[in-house]
Amino acid sequence: MKTALDALSGLLDVLSRIALWLGATGLVVMTAAVGWQVWGRFVLNDSPSWTEPLSLLLMLWFILLVAAVGVRERFHLGLDLIRDIVPEIVRVAMDIASFLIVGAFGAAMAWYSLDLVIGTWSATIPVLEIPESFTYLPLTISGVLIVLFSIERTLHLLVERRSQAGAEALAQAHAVMPSAE
Q: How far is C-alpha 163 from the chain's CA centre?
A: 26
Give pTM, 2 decimals: 0.83
Whether residue 152 contacts residue 8, with contact meaning beta carbons closer than 8 Å, is answered with yes
Q: Are 145 and 102 in contact (CB under 8 A)?
A: no
Q: What local confidence, expressed as pLDDT, does residue 91 receive?
A: 87
What is residue 80's predicted lDDT score, i.e. its pLDDT?
74
**What string of DSSP letters covers 33-52?**
HHHHHHHIIIIIS---SSHH
pLDDT at 172: 52
The predicted structure's pLDDT at residue 89: 86
Backbone angles phi, psi at 125, to 5 degrees: -80, 115
Mean pLDDT by 10 residues, the chain (181 residues): 83 94 95 93 88 94 94 77 84 89 96 95 92 95 96 90 60 51 49
pLDDT value of residue 6? 86
The domain locations on the chain are 4-172
